[in-house]
Structure formats: C-alpha cells, structure tokens
Structure 1
Amino acid sequence: MSTVSSKSRSFIALPLALAVSTLLISACSNTSTVKNTGATTKPVINKQPATQPTVNTAPSSTDYSTAYLDAESLDELADLLEATDMTMVEGNKLVIQQYGDLWNRLRAGYRMNMGQPIYNQRIEAQKGWFTSRQDYLNRLTARSSRYLYHTVREAERRNIPTELALLPIIESSYDPGATSSAAAAGMWQFIPSTGRIYGLNQSSTYDGRRDVIESTRAAYDFLTAL
C-alpha cells in the first residue's frame, strides 16, 4: 500500500486514481442492488506480452495487459480484492433529487489532466485489471458510499479537484480500518509520524488516521501543500 507520507508515492497513486475514475463511474453510477457474492479469489494475471501501440493512435484491446505491471503493483492490486464484501446500497431517487447525483458532481469537479489524453501502457494495464473485476467494483462502490459524499463535498468546499476524492480507492479500497505492513492506517493511509504532523491524534483509545472526517481534512491539507 502507498502512504500519504511519501510525496513520490502520492504522485504515483494520483494518476492511477485518474485512470480508474472514468471506468469506475461508468461501471457504478447506474448500479442499484448487487447480491453479496462472498469471498473472492486471487486474480489470474495475464502475462502474455501486449502489442506495442503506435504513438497517438487508439490502442487495441490486446494492449490492456497486466504484463506492463511490476510485481509490487500486482501485489497491491491483488490486496484490493481482500476487502470485506457487503450488499450494494440501493439508490434512493428522493435523496438524489434533493442532493444531486454524486457521480455527476464528482465528474463536474474534474480539473486534472484536462488536456489531450496521453496513452500510457502502464495506466491501460491498471484499467484492464479493474475492468475485468466487476464484482470488486460493486463491493467498492457499496463501501465507498458511506464516505464518498463527505470526501467529494469537502473537495468542493476547498475548491480543489474532485479527482482527489478517488484517491482512497487506491490507498485503502475506501476502508477506514485498513492497515499496511508499513503501519500506514485508515482510508488515506497515513503513517504515524505524518499523521501527527497533520494533526491526527493517536492514542490507545483513538486513532485520528481512522477518523474519516479528520483524516480527510488532513489528507487534503497534505495534498494541497504539495
């Protein structure tokens, strides 16, 4: 798992969040109810070499191979599948009318990479990994539905790109209880020292890194300071 404490890892995670955002929204925005499918298995990785694309030409489907991902990236993506399963939250038309469609609001706030799209084999490989795992996207949407409204609204309030609200997808699979082998914790994966720098108190009874409101405040403070 990447941690918010590392500037270089944050800049790596941000493009992945951008790459996933379009397919995530298209896969989830019209979904209503999904059955609980139970435990998942580890992904089967396609190691066949992909066709090299011509610069500035549309890639073929064979280019979306995970062959471009290194072992560490594949391990991190596989870890996402370990998230707890839960039933998809059913849409409420009255709530949508009152507060608006959150996915549309998220799209409306996009500000990063607004120029000509650049083909990147590694990003296409990441996208291919996600598009082949619709069950995972369904579980992720259900889990993030508890917290995404706050992360999007806070990004809007700060007038920062709403793409940043998608970063917990990569950091923790939107799980406030997530803990990495490097002791990074929470939805935004702060390590203890960086958490304290950004005002996240940590004691035997409370860990601000797992507090959705406080950790989101700290994460946006950190990201806007970069």
Structure 2
Amino acid sequence: MKIHLRSSLLCIGLLVLTACQSTSSPSQNNSAKPHEIAALFNQSTPEYKPETEANRTDKNIDSDITSDSKPIVYDDLWQEVIANLAFDIVPTPRLQKRIDWYLKQPDYLLKVNKRAKPYLFHITQKIKQKGLPMDMVLLPFVESDFRPKVHSSQSAVGIWQLMDSTAYHFGVTTDEWYDGRQDVLASTDAALDYLVYLYQRFNGDWLHALAAYNTGEGRVKKAIRQSKKQGKQGYFWQLKLPSETADYVPKLLALSYLLQAKHPKFKVPKLPNYALTSEVDFAQRFDFSVLASLTGVSKNQLHRLNPGYLQHQSAPEGPHKILLPLTEKQLWQSEFFQRYFSQTYTVVKNDTFYGLARRFNTSVNTLMALNNKQTTLLKVGEVLKIKKAQPLDNLMLEYQVSPYLAQEEKKPVLTMEHEYIIQNGDSLWEISKQFNVPVKDLLTWNNLKSSSLLKPGKKLVLHLPRPAKTPKKPEPKKFLSELEQLVKPNTSP
C-alpha cells in the first residue's frame, strides 16, 4: 500500500495562532506550549519509502509550498476537510474490507455529523494550529462515533477514547465535578498533543503512531522488534497486533479514502465553515441554572453542549468555561455579553471619536475617559475600549437563602454509554432485564421499533449509571521522563 502525506496549504503559517489559545501541558514543571509541540512535529522529516508494503506517512508536508501560496477559502467545512486530507491512499484487499463496510452504511457520516456539528470547526482549527494532518479530524468518528459520554470496556472515555492516565499526563483532570475526557474541546487538546508525542516516538511514522494510540506504545514497539527479528522492515502492515488494532488503522484510512475519492455512494454532510458555538470563560464558579437565566440558553442544552460537567455546578477550582450555542457574531450581539464583557474596536482610516460615539450609541467624553485619552487624536490600528463591562455577580445559587430552589434542583443521575453486542437468542425484554433498564429506553437509544429484529453481532447502545468511584490519578514520573526528551529546551551553546 502506498501512503504518505500530501502537501497541505494549511500546515504552515498557522502555528503562531496557538498563542491565543490555551492548551493543557503534560505537567507544571515540564510544560510544552502548543507552538513548541507543533514545531517538534515539523522538525521530523524521515525518508519516505515508496513500496507496496510501505506504511510511511512522513513526506515533508511543507516541501511543495511556496511563499506565494494562499489557502483556498471554502464555504463548507467538510469540503475544506476533504481538500486538506493528507494521506495519499491506494486501496489493497485488506483495506477494501473496511471501505465496503462504510459503503454498506452510506448515511454513516450524515448521522455522526449531527453529534459532531457543534464542535467540528473548533477541532479542525486546533488540528491546523498544531500542523497535523487533517485526517486526524476523522479519528473521533472511528474511536467513538463522536459520542462524548461513551465509555469503553477498557475504561477509555469520550470522543477521543482517552484513558484516565493518558488524559492526566496531558493536563486533563477528572474528579466528582468534572471529567475532562468528556469535555470535547479540552480532550481534543490532550488527544492532539498525545498524537504529536507518538508521532515523534515512532520517528515520523503515522501508522505506527495511530496503532500506538489505540493499543499502547509498548505493544507496538514490541511488535516492531518481533517483525525485524524475522527479517522484515517493521512496517505497520507486517506487525502482529491485536485484531482490534489491526482493524483500527484501516478504518481511518478507509474513511479518508472514501472522502478523497468522493465516492458517489458515500454521502458527505454539509456544514457551514465557521464556528457554530462559542466558548466563554466566566472565570468564577457557576451554577447551570444561573447561566441559563443569564444567557437565555436552556439548562438542558448547556449540559448537552458541555458533557464534561458532571454536576449542576462547576468545580470550586475550575474549569469555568462553557460552550454556548452562539456564533461569534451572535455572542457579541447578545445582551448578556454586551453587559458583562468589555468590547474593543480597532481604529481604521478616517475614524473619529465623534463618529465612533454615534456608531456605538455612547458619548465622546465616555469613550475618551474609558481609554484614558487627553486628545481626540486616533491612530490607525489602535485598539479602543468601547464599553466597560459591568461586574459579574455571583453565579452560584444560594440554596441556604432559597430552600425552594434547593428542592427543585435535583442532583443529576450520571450515566455512561455502554455498548452491548447482541447474542443469539437475545430479546429486548431479556436485555432490559439484564441491565435493569426499560425496554422503551432501549428502543429510543437505538432508534428501534418494538417489532425490530435483533441481529447477532450488532451493537446496542445503553445508558447505564456511572460508577461513583473517582479514578485515582497515577504518578506521572515514568511517562513524563519520556516527554522530557521531546520538550526539554536546547541548552547547548
């Protein structure tokens, strides 16, 4: 199989943008800023081996880009994703099996895209900022069908299926208040940093890195050693790996191939190429009921968009960020944002204080005082404060003052998604009895009718009570010692 990275117009020039977006670091003493990690990614340009068994995906992604190149602007996000998929794939019989599976479910991407819709633009931006192949945006589809609350049998959680230890090492916390693995944006930062780490550990081989993401770094290294002992090159396709992992990488490649090939039987969704949601950091502890009243967004919708929060309140020590179902323009125009968040304006040619005062419904004196101006002189490019934010009141409900509200606020039942494989002789009634859930819930969760036939081998989704036990945070010493080799500053003269 021939597979390598095609040049992408979006892989350079965007790394500097990470400075305005915070990304979790592996540890306090050994932090690597996003642009530093992305730089590490681009430093590695191993030799490409073009042969039928090759599993190299390490062609220098910047090699064909000139200084005059300008990224094409797409109105549809999926079209931009397709245009920038970087793996150049030639199908083989082994890969064809996965391609055929997707073709038997031509609506797969349409269905999963409904769950991904609020987050997908943000994820593509993070991928571009880190200089990663755009194919990585497909990983949550392969990992979890983009279900933020899904838990695997191995205790991996979220759209990226992060283990607790991996999430912890990359700055994602888990406690009784908050599970960052279910926070789509926070877990994306951790997962992408982990992929960068694995890419470096496997000398720029993306297939090895993806296999390690699924089954663990140690197991893939062991398989490579065994392959080389047998006189082979250690390519991914030559490795003896667990069947799940051996099938995992072809799933991603098959999805990328179908999108690039624009197969007429495989349906591609449409999605506006801008953020449909906006993240706001309230910088203090909040209650979902108060935020619902403040923003006009229902409490249920806030919980759906922010599945990382396990309670009705944020944790005392944070995080205190919330994703709102508002575009950037809608957020700026919203009453609560205009009242409680300061606004700025960048001066352009021919602007005057008088004109700006009329435009923003204020007075010249107010604008000058807000910006500590002694004269009406304005400079092009100067940033002016337009409106001073009002102090944001306490965002927590005072239950001791309002016992009625305390009675109304019921503690949410924490659930997790569980996959059940249908066995011979199973019935909906028997499954509902086994897991102590109503049959009507089984029907709703799986879009079934009471007359639907259960096919052995198919999967059912169940929403079961989440275990109350908080995962114990492991000691990060051994793992971080490997990270230190990648992010340690160069101290040589």
> TM bucket by the smaller chain?
0.5 to 0.7
Match of residue 410 from structure 2: none
Q: Shift of residue 223 of structure 1?
A: 0.5
1:213 & 1:104 partners in 2: Cα distance?
A: 22
- 1:111 is matched with 86
Structure with the largest fraction of strand: 2
Following superposition, the deviation at residue 202 of structure 1 comes to 0.4
Look up the equivalent residue of 1:108 and give its one-letter code.
A
Shift of 1:106: 0.8
Structure 2: distance between partners of 1:99 and 1:105: 6
- The answer to which structure has the higher helix fraction is 1
1:137–1:108: structure 2 CA closer, same or farther, 3 Å change rule?
Answer: closer
Give the partner amino acid of 2:134: T
Corresponding letter in the other structure for 2:126: E
Q: Is the 8 A contact 1:171 1:188 kept in 2?
A: yes
Q: Secondary structure at the match of 1:152?
A: helix
Alpha-carbon distance between aligned partners in 2 of 1:142 and 1:152, rounded to the nearest angstrom: 16
CA distance in 1, matches of 2:170, 2:118: 24
Which string of whole-angstrom CA distances, capped at 9 and with x for unpartnered residues, describes residues 102-137 of structure 1? 01211232223x3xx433222211111111113433
Q: Does 1:153 align with 2:128?
A: no
Structure 1 contact 155–165 (Cα < 8 Å) conserved: yes
Decide which moves more: 140-149 or 168-177: 140-149
Correspondence for 2:173 among 201, 204, 211: 201
Q: CA RMSD in A?
A: 2.0
Shift of 1:152: 0.9
Aligned mate of 1:181, from 153, 170, 184: 153
Task: Tell me, in whole angstroms, the C-alpha distance in 1 between the residues paired with 2:108 and 2:93.
Answer: 22
1:101 aligned onto 2:73: no
How far residue 160 of structure 1 moved from its aligned partner, in angstroms, is: 1.4
Offset of 1:99 from its aligned partner?
A: 7.1
1:37-76 matched pairs, under 5 angstroms = none
Deviations 1:60-113 (Å, cap 9, x if unpaired)? Answer: xxxxxxxxxxxxxxxxxxxxxxxxxxxxxxxxxxxxxx972101211232223x
Selected match of 2:95 from 103, 116, 123: 123
CA distance in 2, matches of 1:219, 1:189: 9
SS of equivalent residue, structure 2 residue 157: coil
CA contact (8 A) 1:109 1:156 kept: no
* Higher gyration radius (CA): 2
Tell whether the 8 Å contact from 1:172 to 1:188 is kept in structure 2 after alignment: yes
Q: d(CA) in 1 for partners of 2:96 and 2:74? A: 33
Counterpart position of 1:191: 163
Rounded Cα–Cα distance in structure 1 between residues aligned with 2:123 and 2:99 = 23
Unaligned regions of 5+ residues in structure 2, if any? 4-51, 53-72, 199-493
3-state SS in 2 of match to 1:209: coil
Partner in structure 2 of residue 169 of structure 1 = 141
Give, in whole Å, the separation in 2 of the partners of 1:99 and 1:149.
Answer: 12
Please list every run of 5 or more consecutive structure 1 residues that lacks an aligned counterpart in the other structure: 1-14, 16-55, 57-97
CA distance in 2, matches of 1:131, 1:210: 30
Distance change >3 Å, CA 127–CA 154, structure 1 → 2:
same
Report the count of equivalent residues: 128
TM-score when scaled to structure 2? 0.25
1:109 and 1:99 mapped to 2: Cα distance? 11
Matched residues, percent identical? 34
| AA matched with 1:109 | N
Matched, 1:138 2:85: no
Higher RCO (CA-CA < 8 Å; seq separation 6+): 1
Q: Any idea what the Cα deviations from partners look like across 1:122-166, whole Å, max 9, x if unmatched?
A: 221111111111343321122222221111111112221111011
TM-score, normalised on structure 1? 0.52
Alignment partner, residue 230 of structure 2:
none
Contact 2:150 2:159 in 1 (8 A): yes
